[in-house]
Chain A
Amino acid sequence: MKLDSRIPSGPIEQAWDQARFDMKLVNPANKRKFNVIVVGSGLAGGSAAASLGELGYNVKCFCFQDSPRRAHSIAAQGGINAAKNYQNDGDSIYRLFYDTVKGGDFRAREYNVYRLAQNSVNIIDQCVAQGVPFAREYGGALANRSFGGAQVSRTFYARGQTGQQLLLGAYQALEAQVDAGSVKMYTRTEMLDLVIINGKARGIITRNLVTGQIESHAADAVILATGGYGNVFYLSTNAKGSNCTAIWRAHKRGAAFANPCFTQIHPTCIPVSGDYQSKLTLMSESLRNDGRIWVPLKGGDKRSPSQIPENERDYYLERRYPSFGNLVPRDVASRAAKAVCDEGRGVGETGLGVYLDFADSIKRLGKNAIEERYGNLFEMYNRITGEDPYTQPMRIYPAIHYTMGGLWVDYQLMSTIPGMFVLGEANFSDHGANRLGASALMQGLSDGYFVIPYTLGNYLASNKLEKVDTSAPEFAATTKEVNDTIARMLSIKGKRTVSSYHRELGKIMWDNCGMGRNAEGLTKAIQQIQALRQEYWQNVNVPGSGADLNQQLENAGRVADFLELGELMCRDALARNESCGGHFREEYQTEEGEAMRDDENFQYAAAWEYGGENAEPILNKEPLEFKYVHPAQRSYK
């Protein structure tokens, strides 16, 4: 497989301007003749569909929820970064670029990241104009807060509901286009396969989740913006419906999957409380601005936190990383929490937790100020745990949160299948081996509002696309495969539920491909997953039929895909003999337990090609070049 990243040459500061100038344009009058499919209505898909509709393309947009406003982006809490330097604290596009490349542990493309930092400033303008009610200072100007991995205050927020407000902005823009007739919205509709004709993406096969109808949709280009695949771990901070089906099935049709093992574990989530647990809840990282993280100095200290005097507490992040303190990047904070728990110093009933304490901030700023900043998060914590974080410290523990890996895309966000573009968390493009807080929202909107409107036009204008409709034999053939898979799943009627398999897969992944990974565990995990997958196809019980609303069937298809993706993630983790960002191979660490990167051998993006049902996947490498930010060991000391 040839990987042409189409990265522009020339100085990075002008690269995107130059690239845009070099792109071919579609004549305004011709735009409505092009049919474009956008799968996903989150920040990436919603902003793309709205912008493309506004440009005049004929857009169909799909989501599996009952409304585009419910895409998982809605749940983002903390904020969105932008290099506005409104605080006059030394921020700049270059600094945001630098922080993101360094935060990603030198495993992202410099040119993509620079463009992202450039677009960040336009995103804020766009969202303000849409009526996103960002937090304001008394003078009426936009307010900012700081986030992990940065020493400037560049995060814009709307209380603890930033994702909600940004998504509502994109959703409203999308509905405006629905109103104008340029976008047709298909809710409760799940993409189950990609249709390729003459080597190009020309449509999708979907299932209507209410009637069970399998339908064909033809187009000139297909855009996937279907979010992340963190639910391969079963327990994660993602919504229950978040899944990998669209990207996985596209992968099986020829799209390379890049860095699948790069997953982010978020340090501040509410710890697990029992076996019935269905998901994990994030407590926004912004809490680390005012909360101090600690555990008892001695293992097995079961006193209540208020009875542990200052000199018997270990504020381990402040101790180990004096310059970033509680604001070290997520991967570093998560590993540090695991380390103190492994030493037997964890808190709470399970011993898998650390304290996040607001007592000092409340003393210094008053309860009102803390309530103003984090009121809804404190309420959520109280609702779930029954404890009051104003009077006793929160208990937190790391959880799976985000997937930096995803389908491989070039600088124009096109996958290895011509005509198929991938946006948002579903692609691998900008965060390398670790994403900084408040950067996913930025990337989703950058891709959707400011990149795809240009690069899609360029593709359509520079390719002669023959007329295609759903009567093409490729649609019938793909439909048959989809129908066969559904029929097969429904016919097994075995002894175990879909979610029992999902839980088991999740445990294998968390134990072997989670916060710490090693060759032995990964090798074992690959075998376990293969065995589990085999059992799944013989013993799963999917009740009901395919001809109506059947949530078990929906889930069964998603879990089947996770059972394949999980294996690829372990293979990727096993092939990468180094530690970088969220990928921590226990064999590769310094004496102080910090990650040890190997730039000589692993400074590349791993783009995996599907090998076939019972064949091994093929590893392709895209070497990464660092012309501007010199790779160094990350230090947050």
Chain B
Amino acid sequence: MNLTLHVWRQANAAAPGRMERYDARNVSEDMSFLEMLDVVNEQLIAESKEPIAFEHDCREGICGSCGFMVNGVAHGPQRGTTVCQLHMRHFKDGEELYLEPWRATAFPVLKDLVVDRGALDRIIAAGGYVSVRTGSAPDGNAISVPKEAADISMDAAACIGCGACVAACPNAAAALFTGAKISHLGTLPQGQAERSRRALRMVEQLSLEDFGACTNIGECEAACPKQIPIEMIARMNHDHLKAAWQTRGARKSGGGE
């Protein structure tokens, strides 16, 4: 099949960007979307033009490197699929495709389709962990975890940190990403000791970055390639509210003389 691509080209963070038109010819339906772009890039290099920069690594839908908008949809049209796992059999001959980077103030464009998602690391650094000294852990089976808790935790932990939820959200909020980590650790017995502090700090970090506020629109869930359910945001809000309440209580009872 043959396709027409309109791709966002931007030399660096400071430069202005624009859409450019390219032809993708003889695309096989067994190609992945990124393999289609590889072929376009080889052609561009042969014509002494600069290839399109896009991020990728595993090409298996697990590292979270890849991601851009295809016709306004994060990771393209197939639900629950990263753009590296999207195959060309889902497109028709003659289609026009518009490729744009994630659009969010918190994710500045570095070049073409590549953005800076460092804010997501900083959210994890603000308490998205269980503090445990290397070598100090008790036997693995000393902590029993009910299968249901392990399953919910795993559902949340499946987040690949791609940022599609932010890109899809009209407010550019990172609530699904943050809620997923808070739920992953908060549903396990190991995560209890730091549960309140974690929720407080991570939510605070969210507001320090340039993310918008969550208003429960739900676009994030639809865009998420790992189908992280929106209930993770409710879990985060629950933990955060409870923690905020507890610290207020603690201050009251502990303060004074």
Q: Residues on A close to B: CB < 8 A? A: 47, 50-51, 54, 65-70, 72, 74-75, 84, 86, 122, 124-131, 133-142, 158-159, 161, 164-165, 168, 171-173, 175-176, 178-179, 185, 187, 210, 239-241, 273-274, 276-279, 281, 380, 383-384, 386, 449-450, 453, 497, 499-500, 541, 543-544, 548-549, 551-552
Q: What chain A residues lie within 8 Å of B50 (beta carbons)?
A: 543-544
Residue of B nearest to A48 (CB): B134
Residues in B with CB closer than 8 Å to A450 are 134-135
Bound together, the chains give a CA A1 to CA B78 distance in angstroms of 56
B38 near A: Cβ within 8 Å? yes
Query: Residue on B with the closest CB to A448?
Result: B134
Q: Which of B175-200 contact A (CB under 8 A)?
A: 184-185, 188, 190-191
Task: Using known A-B contacts A137-B147, A383-B85, A386-B89, determine if residue A131 contacts B188 with beta carbons closer than 8 Å.
Answer: yes
The answer to whether A69 touches B64, judged by C-beta atoms less than 8 angstroms apart, is yes
Bound-complex Cα distance A50 to B120 (A): 18
Interface centre among B42, B132, B136 (most CB of A within 10 A): B132
Minimum distance in angstroms from A41 CB to a CB of chain B: 11
Bound-state CA distance A69–B158 (Å) is 13
Question: Can you name 17 extra interface pairs (CB under 8 A) apart from A136-B147, A140-B144?
Answer: A66-B55, A66-B118, A67-B64, A74-B64, A75-B63, A124-B140, A125-B140, A126-B132, A126-B134, A130-B129, A131-B153, A164-B157, A171-B124, A179-B126, A239-B57, A549-B53, A549-B114
Chain B contacts with A in 140-167, Cβ cutoff 8 A:
140-141, 143-147, 150, 153-154, 157-158, 160-161
Known: A72-B63, A128-B143, A552-B45. A133 touches B134 (CB 8 A): no
B58 at the interface (CB under 8 A from A): yes
The 8 Å CB contact of B30, one of A175, A274, A552, is A274
Q: Are B145 and A136 in contact (CB under 8 A)?
A: yes
Find out whether the CB atom of A50 lies under 8 angstroms from the CB atom of B134: yes
A141 to B145, CA, bound (A): 7
Q: Is B101 an interface residue (CB 8 A)?
A: no
On whether the beta carbons of A210 and B110 are closer than 8 Å, the reply is: yes
A contact residues around B125 at 8 Å (CB): 175-176, 178-179
| A141 and B139 alpha carbons, distance in the complex (Å) | 11
A241–B185 touching, CB < 8 Å: no
Q: How far is the CB of B114 from chain A (nearest CB, A)?
A: 7
Question: In the complex the two chains form, what is the Cα distance from A171 to B121 in whole Å?
Answer: 10
Q: A124-B140, A125-B137, A549-B110 are in contact. Are A65 and B129 (CB under 8 A)?
A: no
**Could you say which of A159, A178, A273, A276 contacts B38, with CB atoms under 8 Å apart?**
A276
- Which A residues lie within 8 Å of B138 (CB)? 125, 129
**Which residues of chain B from 113 to 129 have any CB-CB distance to chain A below 8 Å in the complex?**
114, 116-118, 120-121, 124-129
The residue that A276 contacts in the complex, of B35, B116, B139, with Cβ under 8 A, is B35
* A122 contacts B135, C-beta separation under 8 Å: yes
CB nearest neighbor in B for A71: B63
B208 at the A interface (CB under 8 A)? no
B153 nearest in chain A by CB position: A133
B46 interface hit (Cβ, 8 Å): yes
**Residue contact A276 to B28, C-beta cutoff 8 Å:** yes
Q: From A133, A279, A453, name the one whose CB has the most chain B CB atoms within 10 angstroms.
A: A133
| Best-buried of A127, A279, A500 by chain B (most CB within 10 Å) | A279
- The CA-CA distance from A86 to B132 in the complex, in Å, is 23
Once the chains bind, are A281 and B60 in contact (CB under 8 Å)?
A: yes
Residue of A128, A176, A380 touching B131 (CB-CB under 8 A): A176
A336 to B121, CA, bound (A): 45
Chain B residues whose C-beta falls within 8 Å of the C-beta of A130 in the assembled complex: 129-130, 132, 190
Residue contact B45 to A543, C-beta cutoff 8 Å: yes
The residue in chain B whose Cβ has the minimal distance to the Cβ of A119 is B135
Contact A136–B129 (Cβ < 8 Å): no
**A137-B131 Cα distance, complex, nearest whole Å:** 26
Residues of B49-75 contacting chain A, CB below 8 A: 49-51, 53, 55-65
Residues of chain A contacted by B85 (CB below 8 angstroms)? 380, 383-384
Quick check: B154 and A133 within 8 Å, CB to CB? yes
Q: How far is the CB of B208 from chain A (nearest CB, A)?
A: 13
* Docked pose: A68 CA to B121 CA in angstroms: 9
Q: Determine the chain A residues whose CB is within 8 A of the CB of B62 once the complex forms.
A: 74-75, 161, 164
B48 part of interface (Cβ distance < 8 Å) = yes
Q: Which residues of A contact B158 (CB under 8 A)?
A: 159, 161, 164
The answer for the CA separation of A295 and B126 in the assembled complex, in Å, is: 53
Give Cα distance in the complex from A2 to B117, angstroms: 46
For B25-42 the 0/1 string (1 means CB < 8 A from A) is: 000101110110011001
Instruction: Give the distance in Å from the alpha carbon of A458 to the alpha carbon of B35 in the complex.
Output: 48
CB distance from B8 to the nearest CB of A (A): 14
Q: List 13 A-B contacts (CB under 8 A).
A: A66-B55, A69-B124, A129-B138, A136-B150, A171-B124, A172-B129, A172-B130, A173-B132, A175-B129, A239-B57, A380-B60, A384-B87, A543-B49
A278 touches B129 (CB 8 A): no
Given contacts A69-B161, A84-B140, A176-B131, contact A278 B59 (CB under 8 A): yes
Interface residues of B in 77-97 (CB under 8 A from A): 78, 81, 85, 87, 89
Q: Which residues of B contact A138 (CB under 8 A)?
A: 147
Q: Is the CB of A134 within 8 A of B60?
A: no
Q: Would you call B121 and A175 a contact (CB within 8 A)?
A: yes
Chain A, Cβ-Cβ closest to B147: A136
A240 touches B59 (CB 8 A): yes
Let me know if B130 and A240 touch, CB within 8 A: no
In the bound complex, what is the Cα–Cα distance between A279 and B134 (angstroms)? Answer: 36
Q: How far is the CA of A499 from the CA of B158 in the complex (A)?
A: 32
Residue of chain A at shortest CB distance from B89:
A386
Find the B residue at minimum CB distance from A135.
Answer: B150
